[in-house]
Structure 1
Amino acid sequence: MSAEKELARALWLNEADTRAVMAALGDGARFVGGAVRNELLGETVGDIDIATAETPERASALLAAKGIKVVPTGIDHGTITAVMPTRHFEITTLRVDVATDGRRADVAFTGDWVEDAKRRDFTINALYADADGTVHDPLGTGREDIKARRVRFIGDASARIAEDYLRVLRFFRIHAWYGAGEPDAEGLKACADAREGLRQLSGERVRDELLKIAGADNAGAAFRQMAAAGILSIVLPEASRLDRFEKLVDIEANQLFKSDPLLRLASTLDLDAGGVAALASRLKLSNRDRDRIEAMLTDKTKIVAYLSIKEVRKALYIIGVQTFKDRVMLGWAEDRKGHNTFQWRAMLAMADSWVRPDFPLTGEMIKQSGVPEGPEIGRVRREVEEWWIDADFTDDEFSIIERLKAVVQATVY
């Protein structure tokens, strides 16, 4: 295969929907950014972005002519989305920045691939590929940086950051996922110098980047580097447990677990319910994510490596599978001995296979035992349920009825 068409065999490039979109757009379209970068690095390709010399209106017309649905997702900035059965393609007209304020840019459309490349963030993200797999490096620096796994800003690092302060966090994120060795010194200094600009960003944008950084294999180093540069204290001042965070990252990597960014982020924290609520408000966390973090940080159930099978089942019933597994992972990350891997893994396996038992005592059964209607029904039920849990969820109906009778005789007047 010729060097010019080195991506010709990429699976995503040869998918029917990909080829259909590129054919509709014609010769003025190229793949750009993450898909090209990841394919060259041998990494998994997710989203497929396309750059085109056509205006958004013209690109939309070309796609519509081939029966492809188009959504004007960011048409003021030149972006439309082609909706296909297997995936969506974000298509953006070549552009240059006219004015920026550190959060957003006013753009003008262009037909110049070099000018489009100059406005991007990092050299390894400014590579393009034709539909036949031919790779283009308009700035002449991306290919070498890809080979070295070197994350560098395009041109002057400070100028690139001033265009959008989120690039400070993107620098650490891209390096954590794709870089090798220490971060680029010029880029690191520019990020540290520009850290106050991060205060301008919305909670949503900061949250998304923090979670993406946390999900990387090299997240531990990235967070330490951010802390050393004075950046973490701005975007996540609550992060007081980087020791636990780094251990958790190592556990997930060594045990071949899928990374859990939210769990990792929570592992940096030592907060009460009020602290979690304040964090969730600032970072605009979903209610579900807020509740999950609060549960794992505030739950007081005893979770240690030497729990018995009975104790595991009891904990699972009381706090639920998700909180139990989160507590196990946090406990594992704080295990001083470091040789209880089998026990921690066994508890996770039990949680994955556990089926919640149904408490067989009904309200009707309680009423028939002589308990009057009202709050006493619930109180008696809870009393018997506590015994049933301690009895390891016995299914012996006779024993359950006998316990009910004993509770009623002793406490119901």
Structure 2
Amino acid sequence: MEVTTLRHDVSTDGRRATVSFASDWRDDAARRDFTINALYADPATLEISDWFGGLDDLAARRVRFIGDAHQRIREDHLRILRYFRFQARFGAQIDAASEQTCRDLAHTLKGLSRERVAMELLALLALPDPSPTVERMAGLGVIDVVLPEAGRCGLEALRALVAAEQAAGVEASPLRRLAALLPPSPAVAETVAARLRLSRSQRARLIAAAGRLDSDRENPRALAYAEGVDSAVDRLLLTSVDPAAVLGWQVPDLPLKGGEIVANGVGAGPEVARTLREVERRWIGEGFPARERVLELLSEVLSDR
């Protein structure tokens, strides 16, 4: 729950507003973005005040700007992205006039802080199925402004990812979905993460997901062992592979130490590390067998020297 005061806009520049305190509920409602966000309820009587038709719009699942859409967006350019987020969440009817206004003013998004754009974009991508809305945003030229790296392939990848998440029963991840919109390139992901001012952990996850390969599908648990379970789930879903093999899997530790290799006659030094890596490679290839088999693998590796 958020508690705020009644306010009245004194001036706006598309990025921030200078406000003064107010005492009139209707004036406060008039500065809101959408009619469904301008509904007020008296906590004592539960009487609803609706000055702009928000109840009708809510019943019709229609997202509509209060008053003149151009003016509302000129006050805060982020309202373009908010419009599409609310449309993806609540909307069934598309308001053609609002969408045309978003198209006309899409260029104004360039003046916003990157953090605000990122927050709104990720909030949109976190919704159950944002893909139809994102495709419409692309058609209107909005995606080109905030995420020019996303092309037709990215839109198709997002649609496929949402279907894969739902089929696997995996919780949606906005960062995974952002990765779907981008080419499978860690360098591109790094550029996007820097531009959107993502956190260090967000940046790492996005870049890891962008490093997906077709070969990831060959051994999902080997992927999880190398990259971690969360990263493996992202990469498998992004390549339309069921991640069931790694969901809930506890990544094992190789049950072999360097000292055991030395005890088998290998001189201390680089040869120990090479032997350990070869045993590990075979252990992974055999599906992470128990220690007894690992010791057999060690004997086989030493015999092959």
Partner residue of 1:376 out of 271, 274, 279: 271
**Residue 327 (structure 1) shift:** 2.1
Structure 1 residues 176, 368: closer, same or farther in 2, change over 3 A?
A: same
| Alignment partner, residue 20 of structure 1 | none
CA distance in 1, matches of 2:72, 2:15: 12
Determine if contact 1:217/1:253 at 8 Å carries over to the other structure.
no
Question: What amino acid does structure 2 have at the position aligned with 1:300?
Answer: L
The alignment partner of 2:266 has SS state of coil
CA drift of 1:402 comes to 4.7
Q: Among 125, 132, 138, which residue is 2:37 paired with?
A: 125
For the pair shown, the structure with the greater C-alpha radius of gyration is 1
Change (3 A) 1:277 1:130: same
**Aligned partners of 2:214 and 2:239 also within 8 Å:** no
Deviation at residue 284 of structure 1 after TM alignment: 1.1
Match of 1:348 among 239, 243, 249: 243
Amino acid at match of 2:122: L
Structure 2 partner of 1:175: 87
Deviation at 1:396, TM superposition (A): 4.7
Report runs of 4+ in structure 1 exceeding 6 Å deviation. Answer: none
Displacement of 1:133 after TM fit? 5.7
Q: Does 1:235 align with 2:235?
A: no
Residue 192 of structure 1 aligns to a residue whose secondary structure is: helix
Q: Tell me, what secondary structure is at the counterpart of 2:20?
A: strand
Gaps of 5+ in 2: none
Match of 2:235 in 1: 327
Query: Given that residues 220 and 245 in structure 1 are in contact (C-alpha distance below 8 angstroms), is that contact kept between their aligned partners in structure 2?
Result: yes
**SS at structure 2 position matched to 1:92:** coil
Asked if 1:286 corresponds to 2:181, the answer is no
Residue 313 of structure 1 and its aligned partner are, at CA, apart by 3.3
Does 1:216 find its partner at 2:124? no
Aligned position for 2:256: 361
User: How much identity, in percent, do the aligned residues show?
Assistant: 42
Taking the aligned partners of 2:285 and 2:56, their CA distance within structure 1 comes to: 64
State how far apart, in whole Å, the 2-side matches of 1:360 and 1:258 are.
33
Q: Distance in 1 between matches of 2:258 and 2:6?
A: 68
Letter in 2 for 1:156: D
Query: Does residue 1:268 correspond to 2:181, yes or no?
Result: yes
Structure 1: 5+ residue stretches without partners:
1-47, 49-89, 333-343
Supply the distance in 2 between the matched residues of 1:364 and 1:143 (Cα, whole angstroms): 72
CA deviation profile, 1:267-306 (whole Å, cap 9, x unmatched): 11114222111110001112222222222221336244xx
SS in structure 2 opposite 1:181? coil
Residue 161 of structure 2 corresponds to 248
Distance 1:321-1:405 versus aligned 2 partners, 3 A rule: same
Aligned to 1:190: 101
Q: 1:231 to 1:272 in 2, by over 3 A?
A: same
Change (3 A) 1:164 1:294: same
Q: Return the alpha-carbon distance in structure 1 between the equivalents of residues 62 and 286 of structure 2.
A: 59
The answer to whether the 8 A contact 2:255-2:291 is kept is: no
Alignment partner, residue 77 of structure 2: 165
1: distance between equivalents of 2:132 and 2:296? 59
Taking only aligned residues, the RMSD between alpha carbons, in angstroms, comes to 2.2
1:385 alignment partner AA = E
**TM-score after normalising by structure 2:** 0.91
TM-score normalised to the size of structure 1?
Answer: 0.68
Residue type of the partner of 2:74?
A
Shift of 1:122: 0.4
Mapped contact 1:96–1:108 kept (Cα < 8 A)? yes
The CA distance in 2 between the partners of 1:135 and 1:373, in whole Å, is 81
Alpha carbons of structure 1 residues 120 and 246: separation in structure 2 relative to 1, 3 Å:
same
